[in-house]
Amino acid sequence: MTFIGMNNRTRGKRLAGGTLLLALAALATTLFYATSPLFAQATSGSAEPALSGAASGSLTLWTDPKTGEVFTRPGRGRVPLILNTGGGASAQHAVEEQLQEQKAQTAKLAQQLDQQQKQTAAVTKQVQEVTPAWQDYLASYKNKVSIGTQVWFGYSLFSHTGWGPQYLTQQIWPGPGNDGYNDFFLHRGYLNFFFYPTEDWTVRVTPNIYTMQGSTANQAFGGNAGIPNTNVGNLGYRIKYAYLQYNTPFKNLGIDAIKTDKIIIGVQPQPITAWEEDLYGYRFVNLTTWNMSEASTYPGLSVQGPITFGKDNLQYIDYNIGVFDNASFHAFEGTNTKEVQGRVSIYPFGARWRFQGLGITSYYAFGYGNNTPDQAQLSTPFKGPNSEIERLAEIVHYDAENWGIAFEYDWGRNAWSPGNMFSGSGPAALYGLTPNAAFIPKSVAINQAAYANLADALLNNGRSYQRGYNFFGHYHLPQTRYTLFGWIEQWNANTQVKNNPFDFERVVLGVAYQWNEYLRFALDTQNTLFYHSQYNMPVSYAKQFNWSAPKGFTGTSIPDVVTSDTHMFMLNAEFVF
C-alpha cells in the first residue's frame, strides 16, 4: 500500500487516468472483500486478471520500468508487478477460524456460565436448607423425649387417731390419744422421663420424692461429739421406675392379636397395683388393697399387653406376667429365689379402651420373704419372715366413661405382716421401743407390749391366711365437674384366728373436683374400723400361735386386744403432666 501510494503520488501524472482509477478500484475492492469472501466472489468477474491473483494471496499488475507506470494489463515493455496482498484468503480463513474458535469459546463460556449459575443456585438452596445442629437436635429431642411430673399433695385432719395401716404411701400419724393431729403432706413427687429412641424401644426413668423414714439413732462424730439423725422426715429422692421397654417383640410374627405386646426389663410396676390404680382412678386419695402390703414396683422382667381380635381390634384379654425380685424397689434383694406374678384381665364382650365394659381380672403372685439363703434355712418353729408368700385377687369390674364399679375378692398366705398392719402408726413395742413413761403407766406399757407380741404371733407365724372383700367405684355427676367415689374394704388379717382383733374395715368416701385436664382435687374421709367387739384374748389361745409374754406380763389374758378406730378427713390435690 505504501508502495502504491508512493507511486500514486510520485507517478500519478504518467498513469493513464482511467486505468489507474480502475486499478485502484480493483485493489480497493479486493482488499475490502478479502475479509468477506462471499462478496469477493460475487464481484470477482469485474477484474478477473487482477482478482485471479488475489485468490492466491497476491495481485499481479504490470509496470513499465522505464516510466514507472503501472498497468492492469500486460503490454510491451511492461513487466509483471506482483503485489502481495497479505494472503487475503488465508487471512480470511484465519479470521474465520478465529471466529469459529471465538464462537466455540463463547459457547463454552456460556455453557460454563450456565453450569455455574446452576451450581450457585443449588448451593444457595442447600445453604438455605441447612438446619443448624441445635435446631436439628431440638427437633429430634422433641419427638423422642417426654418429660412430665406427677405430684400428690394433701392435708389430713385426724379426728380420731388410732393404730393401723397407712392410707397413702409414707403417711404416718401419732397413735391413740392424739385426736386433732393434722398435717400437710407430699405423698408423691414424680419426674417422668420417657425416651423413644426408635419405634421399637422406650426407656423410662422416674425419680420420686418421698418422705424418709428410718432409724432414729444418733451418731457419734469425733471422740466427744454426736450428731442427731436428720433422715427422718426429710424429702428424699429415689428411683421409682427405671426400665427398658421393647415395644415390638412380636411384631414380625404376623399375629395381629399380639402385635402391640411388649417386654419390659428393669425396675417396673408389678402387674396388679398400677393397673388397679388406673381402674379405680383415685389413687391420689387412698391405697389399693394389695398395695397396702406389697410395693407397687419391683426389679424384674415382664411381658405384657393386650390381645385383640376382630376387624374392630377390640381388646378381649389384657395380661402382665413377670419374674421379679422378692425385694421391692427400695430394698436389697436377699434371696436365692425369685417371685412370679401374673395378671390376666378378660373382657368377654371386647373393650374399645383399656377398661371399657365388663372385665374379669385374676391376679396371682408367688414369692418368698426377703431373707438370705443361710437365714432362710434356719430351723424356727414358725418360719414367719422366711415363708412362702402368696397373693390372689379376683376382680369383676365394669367401666364406662362416666362411672365405674368393681368388686374384688382377695386371698393371701403370709401376705400381711405386723409391719403392714401398723404401717401408719403402731404400738411402740412393735418397733422395739418403750413408750414414754411420763404418759403411759408401766402396766399399760406392758399390755401394749403384749399386744405387739400378739400382732407378731398372729400375723407373722408362717401359716397365716388373709381374706379381703372390696367394693369400689366412682360416679360422675352429669353436667358438673364433680365425681363421687369410694372404696369399702373388709380385711381379715388371718382367717386362722377366731375373732381376730386385727380384722378391720376401711371406708373411704369422697368427692373429687376436676379443675382441668391436669389438676384434680378431692375432699374425703378415710376410716379404719376394727369391727370386733372389745375382748381379752386368753394367753392359752395366743400361745397356739407362738405368742410370748413380754417382760413383766403376768396375766392370763391379753386385755383389750381390739384397738381403737382411726378417722381422718383429707383434702387431696393431684397434678399430672
Q: Which residues bind other proteins (CB under 8 A)?
A: 146-150, 192, 194, 260, 277-278, 281, 283, 305-306, 308, 311-315, 318, 347-358, 398-404, 476, 480-481, 483, 514, 516-518, 576-577
Cell representation of residue 218: 444418733
Residues 6+ away with beta carbon under 8 Å from 48: none
Least distance in Å: CB of 327 to other proteins?
25
Helix boundaries (H) for 313-352: none
| Pick 312 or 374: Cβ nearer other proteins | 312
In this complex, which beta carbon is closest to other proteins, that of residue 167 or of residue 355?
355
Angle at 371 between CA 218 and CA 380, to 5 degrees: 105
* Min dist. Cβ of residue 415 to other proteins (A): 26
> What is the closest distance, in whole angstroms, from the C-beta atom of residue 519 to other proteins in the complex?
10
Q: Which residues are 30's β-sheet partners?
A: none
User: CB 353 → other proteins: shortest distance, Å?
Assistant: 4
Residue type, 280: Y
- In whole angstroms, what is the distance from residue 424 CA to residue 419 CA? 9
In the complex with other proteins, the residue whose CB is nearer, 48 or 517, is 517
Do strands 79-84 and 58-64 pair parallel, antiparallel, or not at all (unpaired)? antiparallel
| Nearer CB in complex with other proteins: 431/482 | 482
Q: Which is nearer to other proteins, 165 or 269 (CB)?
A: 269
Residue 141 CB coordination number (10 Å): 11
Instruction: Pick between residue 32 and residue 309 the one whose CB is nearest to other proteins.
Output: 309
Q: Which is nearer to other proteins, 152 or 368 (CB)?
A: 152
Closest to 570 in 3D by CA, of 151, 209, 210, 185: 185
Other beta carbons within 10 angstroms of residue 306's beta carbon come to: 20
Task: Specify the residue, 137 or 353, whose C-beta has the smaller distance to other proteins.
Answer: 353
C-alpha angle with apex 463: 462 to 469, nearest 5 degrees?
A: 115
Closest approach, Cβ 169 to other proteins, in A, equals 15
Q: Distance between CA atoms of 180 and 161, rounded to whole angstroms?
A: 8
DSSP 495-519: TTSTT-TT-EEEEEEEEEEE-SSSE
Cβ 173 to other proteins, closest distance in Å? 26
Does residue 61 contact residue 70 with C-beta atoms inside 8 Å? yes
Write down the least CB distance from residue 576 to other proteins, Å.
5
Smallest gap from residue 275 Cβ to other proteins (A): 9
DSSP letter at 228?
Answer: -
Residue 350 Cβ vs other proteins, minimum distance, rounded to whole Å: 5
Q: Which is nearer to other proteins, 391 or 476 (CB)?
A: 476
Q: What minimum distance in Å lies between the beta carbon of 356 and other proteins?
A: 7
**Between β-strands 465-476 and 403-413, what pairing exists: parallel, antiparallel or unpaired?**
antiparallel
Check: CB of residue 72 under 8 Å from CB of residue 61: yes
Sorted by sequence, the CB contacts under 8 Å of residue 18 that are 6+ apart come out as: none
The candidate with the shortest Cα–Cα distance to 576, out of 191, 171, 187, is: 191
Distances (CA, A) of 300 to 146, 263, 269, 363: 24, 11, 9, 17
| 136 versus 278: smaller Cβ distance to other proteins | 278
